[in-house]
């Protein structure tokens, strides 16, 4: 699930580490694979704090006490389960009809009012926050930046011998569809899997995550982007992968 508020993504990108830094490839035990990381946790946390400040300034906060209490209460349980309570956390509910949520690496949780029209219980709200917390624990934001930066360097080198703007555009499209988007889909499926682990550890019902994504799929309007051209897996792919994982854990 992606943050619908553009300012957060913009600040994260603007504060990224220079490409002159040494490439770091680190093995992530939780993911079972290596990660290319070109930005430090400290830099990402600083960027997150800037993004959060801008988001609070530019978007209307909900004064619904019940919504805010639910986000704080459930968020605290998920943060504890994820082992992310090594930093202070802030929670906010934003007035936005689009059902969405985000968790920033610096320790900020945002949920839109529209999400409360989709989630049917606390377990499903925990599924959303757990999914977003999993992105933080898996260092997906740092990895996504690193992959994008590496692709841009590769294109600049390849493109130096080309005069055709159309050729460069074709190379850019090829890199995005062939590398960056599939990698983002991998992130989403990983966050689904890790997120339900957090749910279970926090005392919520992991099977409700499946109900949540079914609700999200039913509420989607205007059709969906083909999976090959999307940063997110298709609803069918997500539901199948999540169902298989829940069954493997004995939670379905």
Question: Per the residue annotation, which of 90, 95, 120, 132 is the catalytic one?
Answer: 132
Whether 191 contacts 131, CB under 8 Å: yes
Closest-CA residue to 90 (of 53, 63, 54):
53
Annotation marks residue 143 as catalytic? no
**Rounded distance, CA 95 to CA 23, Å?**
40
CB pairs under 8 A, 24+ apart, for 146-149? 146/35, 146/36, 146/37, 146/38, 146/39, 147/36, 147/179, 147/180, 147/183, 148/180, 149/16, 149/19, 149/38
Q: Which residues are catalytic?
A: 132
């Amino acid at each position: 699930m992606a943050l619908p508020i553009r300012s957060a993504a913009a600040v994260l990108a603007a504060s990224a580490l220079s490409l002159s830094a040494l490439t770091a490839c680190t093995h992530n035990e939780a993911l079972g694979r290596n990660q290319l990381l070109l930005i430090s946790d400290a830099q990402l946390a600083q960027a997150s704090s800037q993004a959060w400040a801008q988001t609070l300034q530019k978007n209307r906060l909900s004064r619904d006490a019940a919504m805010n209490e639910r986000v704080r209460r459930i968020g605290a349980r998920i943060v504890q389960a994820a082992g992310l309570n090594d930093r202070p956390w802030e929670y906010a509910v934003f007035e936005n009809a689009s059902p969405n949520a985000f968790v920033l690496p610096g320790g900020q949780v945002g949920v839109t009012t529209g999400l409360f029209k989709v989630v049917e219980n606390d377990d499903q709200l925990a599924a959303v926050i757990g999914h977003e917390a999993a992105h933080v624990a898996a260092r997906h934001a740092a990895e996504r930046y690193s992959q994008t930066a590496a692709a841009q360097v590769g294109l600049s080198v390849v493109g130096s011998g080309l005069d055709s703007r159309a050729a460069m555009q074709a190379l850019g499209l090829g890199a995005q569809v062939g590398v960056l988007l599939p990698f983002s889909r991998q992130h989403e499926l990983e966050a689904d899997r890790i997120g339900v682990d957090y749910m279970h550890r926090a005392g919520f019902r992991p099977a409700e995550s499946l109900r949540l994504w079914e609700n999200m799929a039913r509420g989607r309007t205007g059709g969906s982007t083909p999976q090959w051209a999307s940063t997110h897996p298709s609803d069918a792919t997500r539901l199948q992968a999540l169902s298989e994982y829940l069954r493997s854990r004995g939670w379905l």
